[in-house]
Structure 1
Amino acid sequence: MDLATRKIPMRKDILTNKMYPKREMVRIVKDKEGNISIDPTGKKPGRGAYVGLDPEAIKDAKAKKSLEKVFSHAIPENFYDELFDFVDHQKARMDLFGDLGKKH
């Protein structure tokens, strides 16, 4: 199958309800013990949810405590800051280098 006919996996951003290509998103996962973490590999076990590369949406989520609603679990304030920094960094990389999923 060539690249022109290859299906691009899409995921819904839990903060904006918009669909984006999976590789342009960040996965957040809640494990069995209830720990919430960023999953850069997309392979950690647990309940996962995706957020887009929009730092402003992370700021809004912190103010509205959106992730608490999604995961039905208390989220530490510093997790939002960590997520903001990660998303901001990934967005900057995407802007600089283009598609993060391509092998160079």
Structure 2
Amino acid sequence: MKHLVVTAAPVHDCRDPVVLDPVRKQVDPASLRWMLNPPDMIALEQALRLRDRIPGTRIRVVSIAPPAAESVLRECLAVGADEVERVWGEGIEGADPHGVASILAAAVRRLPF
């Protein structure tokens, strides 16, 4: 059995208006709608095409995502991913790109294949 791993990042949909919380003077997180980063959606689509050509292939999406972005991972399942894994924990929010890459690499290394 072949396994494909697609790393994916939920991002805020910039087409939606931003609502500011007048008390905290910050973006109201409840007003943000999440979507899959467009290049990551392309990667998932390519993985799905590969799976169509290689029988027995399974696709797992691994994502560093807060709980509020869970809908994005459900969308990955809806379009055809076999499994999703959301990585999140204390200290992840605000991690620099090297930190994010290290966390994703560790998550992929511990996959059971």
Q: TM-score, normalised by structure 2?
A: 0.26
Larger gyration radius, structure 1 or structure 2: 2
User: Which structure has the higher relative contact order (CA within 8 Å, separation 6+)?
Assistant: 2
Q: TM-score, normalised by structure 1?
A: 0.28
